[in-house]
Chains A and B, each alone.
Chain A
Amino acid sequence: MATVVRELELMPTAEPAHARSILSGWLTTVDHKQIGILYVVMAVCFLIIGGCEALVIRCQLFWPHSQLVAPDAFNGLFTMHGTTMVFFVGMPILIGIGNYLVPLMIGARDMAFPRLNALGFWATLFGGMLVYFSFATGGAPALGWFAYAPLTEHTFARGPATDLWALGLVVSGIGTTTAGINFIATILGMRAPGMTLRKIPFFTWTILWTAVQIVIAMPPLTAILVMILLDRNLGAHFFDVQNGGSALLWQHLFWFFGHPEVYILILPVFGMISEIIPVFSRKVLFGYEFMAAATAAIAFISLGVWAHHMFAVGLSRPEGLFFAVTSLLVSIPTGIKFFNWLATMYGGRISFASPMLFACGFLSMFLIGGLTGIMLAVVPFNFQLTDSYFVVGHFHWVLIGGTLFGTFAGIHYWYPKVTGRMLSERLARWQFCLLYIGFILTFGPMHIAGILGMPRRIYTYEAGLGWEIWNQLSTIGAIIQAPSFAIFAYNLIASLWKGKPAGDNPWDAWTLEWATTSPPPSYNFETIPTVHSRRPLWDLKHPDDPDWQYE
């Protein structure tokens, strides 16, 4: 009988021999750190593609009756822009950062299921390629990223684009679900000795709840996408209204996925911000327990708010009120988190290195996005604002002002750990300024355009309604933003050679990932440490005043 071998503890160091090509190393890796990097690199590539799609959209909308882009080409562009940013940028970049950091933060050597981890990445990439293949088969799908039935039925969408879109999202959705499963198993089952669930780094806690959202919300999406494929290819009638199918059922099921999806896109960011603000304010995170409880509350409540995306479909008044109540309720734990971050900064010694710069950008902007969300939760106000450019402004505000700024903060924070080099602070500040100003100029006017009656997803508009100036400001803002992404990409690449060597802990931070070398060896830690508090490195530096006395 073969002897039992506990794989993870005695994994041999996988130093690639020089004879073996580096490429095949990356293609076959199961190391969580390399998979994390692959996710992030893929996401940045899709970010650039999705950004180019947005630039074309903004150019088309600069003038009324512009003929830069044909109607269905435009409709395909906004569909692909939304699908790309949500499924191939937002989720992968956060899953990638989580993949890299979670095992390091909890003192493990890898994720629970390394091969499943790799499968998740390649499935996500393959799904993205399937979706983009639609450009080669007669045009991108022109459905909008939430693809309301019965537009997706064969009657209204004749080409293969819709099938490729649905299939691509099914495949990448399976990849995302496996990532969620992996995170849950890893965080619950592989923590270092002494690290109870109440002592895990806050980023890990938010990844845990993100994973729970993924596991609950992705399968319904997969199910309804399969239903579309069955409708289109086997003559099923799920959303075939002419044969009794229900257009409204699609909306309910899609948004049951769709709302937790946006929390999947923001919870990890809350976690990253909760790591960065304490370090750069030199103070422990204020109110960890309340923050943790607020995260769990957000995760639960967000499962019950979905119909606020559908207030105008003719819900009854009690139904509308119910979803207004839950949507307003979710702002309370979000507010708690916000105040805790401010309290962490209060009385600290704040330095504005690039991670903190982006974190402050996040704070200042996410507040506004959250407040416009509150406006949208007030049902009658929503009757005017929904499906208008106000909503486009709102969700870009939370996704860029929230997710993107927070992710940039995280990337600037952990890049030294991943590569052993510091990013250029000068370039980071240029990126921040261009992005901050450009972003406000792009999406601020959209709120006004929406109030002036401009609906969303229109490839052109009438002159004389007062919309031109706001569209033009948006386009100018987009042109100001665009170089910031180029600066970011350049910074990421050039700093690999030109960046200052970082050392193990350039920020003097306190969580376990800063206890290894930069970059960490493939086995992460020589010996698995024992921890007693949420800030193990603080305890080591301040043995007279350790955290575990106060937690």
Chain B
Amino acid sequence: MSPATLMSTATLNAVQPDRERPLPLPPSVTPYRGLAPTQLGMLAFLASEAALFCTLIVVYLSYLKVDQNGPTPAVLSLSLVIATTVCLLASSITVHLAVKSLHSGEHLSFIRWWAATIVLGIVFLLGTAFEWRELIVRHDLTISRNLFGTTYFTLIGFHALHLTGGIVAMLAVLGLTISRLLSTKSRASAELISWYWHFVDAVWVVVFSVVYLAGR
């Protein structure tokens, strides 16, 4: 029985000194072994983000093939996007390796893998920017051109925005690590950011399948 429980019994006994029967003893208390509050917070946040992206995807699907004129998903360049997707998927692997290095205390290795993740993320964003330039300039597809333009730029744009947010967070962690301000607390935040990164990746897998595979 834990000391805390014994103490409370003693207190109880002290309060009722003239009882004949001994007072009932409470059951033992098992310590909390669940996720930390910060981890729960990140998961709840990711749930809200999932709801957001579900809405955007539902809207995209609702408007697929509704357009009578203007560019259709056929104008999307599969080869470029496959390349950027590979970068993003690779970045999930690198961020996983980074967190692993962090847990095993390999400081330099963490910095390398973390930086690699950031670079791959930036490459993805550059690829998206290039793709958008092609679509806008060559194919005359803008957010106001037709429903495809509206839903495409909104969905891909929201994803890119979230990716950018992740990159900014990662840069902050990178800066703190390099300037040796990293503490055990930041170890936890690095792991949480990696969860976010995996989530944004998973969202991309769905978006990619819906927009570039199923929808074309």
Contact = CB atoms under 8 A, between A and B. Distances in A.
B130 interface: no
Contact of A188 (B8, B35, B47, B142): B35
A236 B158 CA distance: 15
B125 to A, nearest CB: 20
Interface string B58-91: 1100110011100000000000000000000000
A181 B183 contact: no
Task: Classify chain B's interface size.
Answer: 35 or more
Nearest to B47: A215
A1 B150 CA distance: 50
A548 B27 contact: yes
A188 B48 contact: no
B185 interface: yes
A238 B26 contact: no
Contact of A227 (B48, B59, B183): B59
A236 B26 contact: no
B8 to A, nearest CB: 7
B120 interface: no
B24 A546 contact: yes
A181 B45 contact: yes
A287 interface: no
A227 B154 contact: yes
A177 B31 CA distance: 30
Interface string B39-59: 111001101110110111011
A274 B185 CA distance: 39
Contacts, number: 140
B37 A244 contact: no
Contacts of A243: 146-147
Contacts of A503: none
Contact of A177 (B5, B23, B48): B48
Interface in B94-127: none
Task: Classify chain A's interface size.
Answer: 35 or more
Interface string A237-249: 1100001111001
A185 B51 contact: no
B26 A193 contact: no
Interface stretch (A77-85, A218-226, A308-316, A319-327): A218-226
A420 B196 CA distance: 43
B26 A532 contact: yes
B69 to A, nearest CB: 10
Nearest to B157: A230
B144 interface: yes
A356 B29 CA distance: 34
B59 A193 contact: no
B16 interface: yes
Nearest to A246: B62
Nearest to B182: A1
A112 interface: yes
A4 B183 contact: yes
B154 A236 contact: yes
Nearest to B181: A2
B44 A191 contact: no
Contact of A186 (B4, B37, B68): B37
A543 B35 contact: no
B19 interface: yes
B147 A189 contact: no
A215 B41 CA distance: 11
B184 interface: yes
B44 A180 contact: yes
Given A243-B147, A244-B146, A245-B147, A546 B55 contact: no
Contacts of A5: 185
Contacts of B52: 219-220, 222-223
A253 B24 contact: no
Interface string A179-218: 0111011101111011000000000000000010001111
A521 interface: no
A112 B144 contact: no
Interface of B: 4-5, 8, 12, 15-16, 19, 21, 23-24, 26-27, 29, 31-32, 34-41, 44-45, 47-49, 51-52, 54-56, 58-59, 62-63, 66-68, 142-144, 146-147, 150-151, 154, 181, 183-185
The 3 closest A-B pairs by CB, nearest first: A235-B144, A189-B37, A219-B52
Interface of A: 1-5, 112-113, 116, 177, 180-182, 184-186, 188-191, 193-194, 211, 215-220, 222-224, 226-227, 230, 234-238, 243-246, 249, 253, 530, 532, 539, 543-544, 546, 548-549
Given A188-B35, A532-B26, 4 more contacts: A112-B37, A189-B36, A219-B52, A220-B52
23 contacts: A4-B183, A112-B40, A116-B41, A177-B48, A185-B38, A185-B44, A188-B40, A215-B48, A218-B48, A218-B51, A219-B49, A219-B52, A219-B55, A223-B56, A223-B59, A224-B55, A227-B59, A230-B143, A230-B154, A238-B150, A249-B59, A544-B19, A548-B26
